[in-house]
Amino acid sequence: MQNYLPACKIVTTHGVRGEMKALPLCDGPEFLAKCKRLFAKTDGTGEVRLLGVRAQGNMILLRLEGVGDMDAARAQVGRTYYFAKGDVRLPKGRYFIDDLLGCRVVDADTGRDYGELTAVDHPAAQDIYTVTDAQGGTHMLPAVPEFVRSIDMENRTITVTPIDGMFTEAVNGDKE
């Protein structure tokens, strides 16, 4: 688990007073506004105060301390900034994807170990968990209460109630 996660990537300048347009790499401007500081590197170095953040379509506009004109903003283009996980509080039942990766996925009723959570995607209304089993096979699990019974971060376990076929190999479409 990492202590610093990607917040945004600067893509261009915005105006002449140092504001920058960025691609959000976190939950968006509301989440980022909770951060009072960002970091230039994943090890927590290069701390800079976040002076303002607002939405602009699917992008964000932000102001950082020390970036007061277009030239200073232009020098930031291409840079990724990170936030410290310790600086934000997630609502109950919400987790950082980075913290979920590597958790064991087990059956709530039988205790069967289905494998390890190796990816989290967000293609639609809910997340989709990718679980990789011991043989290297992957299985998709919608991250909804009907399937995900509980998440225990202390024991790094996700307890699930899958439907038939969710953790078996795909049915061969050929008829014999």
Which of 137, 148, 146, 145 lies closest to 105, judged by CA? 148
pLDDT in tens, 9-34: 999 999 899 999 999 998 888 889 88
Amino acid (one-letter) located at 113: D
pTM above 0.85, yes or no: no
> At the topology level of CATH, where does 4-87 sit?
Elongation Factor Tu (Ef-tu); domain 3 (2.40.30)
Domain edges within the chain: 4-87, 97-160
CATH class name, domain 97-160: mainly beta
| Tokens at 116, concatenated | 């390890």
pLDDT in tens, 134-148: 888 899 999 999 999
